[in-house]
Homo-oligomer: A and B are copies of this chain.
Amino acid sequence: MTGRVAIVGLGPGSAEWMTPEATAAVAAASDIVGYGPYLDRLRLRPDQRAHPSDNRHELERARFALTLAAEGRAVAVVSGGDPGVFAMAAAVFEAIEEAPEWRRFDIRVAPGVTAMQAAAARLGAPLGHDFCAISLSDNLKPWAIVERRLRAAAEGDFVIALYNPASRARPTRVGDAFALLRGVKEPATPVAFARAVGRAGESLTLTTLGEADPSLADMATLIVIGSSQTRFIKRDGARAWMVTPRAYGDRR
C-alpha cells in the first residue's frame, strides 16, 4: 500500500500570493480536501473532485484525506495561508501517527504566504526584528498556556502576531490578552488590526495597546502588537507605516 498527499498553502486569498508550486499541486490532484471557502477559490476541472468541509474537525478531515490516498487517489489538502502555520499540516501528521501504514505515504508540504506576512506587507515592516506567532484559540490548548506565552513574549520584547483572536464561542479572549499585555508593555506600543488582507473586505486599523478595542477583532483578523522598538512613521494624507527597525536600542 502506498499513497500520495500534498498539503498545500493557498496564501491569504489573492491569486498573486499563491505560489507556482501550490498551483501545480492543486492541478496534479484528483481529489481536493479542505474548508469550503478555500475550495471555492480554486477553479477545478470537471475531472477533479472537491471535498469541502467546515472549519472544524481537522483531524477527521486529515484521516479522510489519507484514506482517499490509500485508495490510490492523488490528494491535495488545502489550507489558507501556510499549511504549517495554524493549519492542516500538523493535523495530517497527527493522523499519520495513529496509523503506522500511512507512514509509508509520500507526503509533500507546499508552503504559502501566511496571514502575518500579508498583514506585515500592507502595514510596512512591523516584523522587522524578532517576533512570535500565538494562536488565541483555546480549543486545543488550555488558556493557561496562552497566558504563559503572552507573558513570555512580552518579557522577551518580541513583536507579537495574534492568530484566531476571536470567535463567537470565545469573544472575550482578545480583551483578556490585551489586559495581560498592558501589565507588561507600554500603553503607547503600536498595535494593528489587519482584517481579511488580500480578500474582499480588507481593512487595516492602527492604534496603540492602551487604546486597542478588542471588538475590532473577528476570526478574519490578524493582530500585530509591536515591541518596545516598533513605531509608526506618519504620512500626510495616508495611513502611517508600522515599522520595527532592524537595530535594537542605540545600535545602528
Contacts and interface: CB of A to CB of B under 8 A. Distances in A.
A17 B19 contact: yes
Given A111-B113, A133-B132, A233-B93, A127 B248 contact: no
Interface string A71-111: 00000000000111110011111101100000110011111
A251 B139 CA distance: 8
Contacts of A58: 246
Contacts of A82: 113, 117
Indicate the size class of the contact surface on chain A.
35 or more
A191 interface: no
Contacts of A92: 125
Contact of A20 (B15, B142, B151): B15
Contact of A109 (B20, B120, B141): B120
B135 A133 contact: no
Interface centre among A125, A127, A133 (most CB of B within 10 A): A125
A223 interface: no
A91 B246 contact: yes
Contact of A249 (B86, B97, B122, B142): B142
Interface string A128-142: 111111110001111
A11 interface: yes
Contact of A112 (B113, B233, B252): B113
A219 interface: no
Nearest to A112: B113
Contacts of A243: 90, 93-94, 97
Given A84-B121, A90-B245, A94-B245, 19 more contacts: A20-B20, A85-B117, A93-B241, A94-B246, A103-B234, A103-B236, A107-B241, A111-B113, A111-B117, A132-B156, A132-B158, A140-B247, A140-B251, A141-B248, A141-B251, A145-B157, A148-B156, A148-B157, A149-B157
Interface of A: 11, 14-21, 24, 58-59, 82-86, 89-94, 96-97, 103-104, 107-114, 117-118, 120-122, 124-135, 139-142, 145, 148-149, 151-153, 155-158, 233-236, 241, 243-249, 251-252
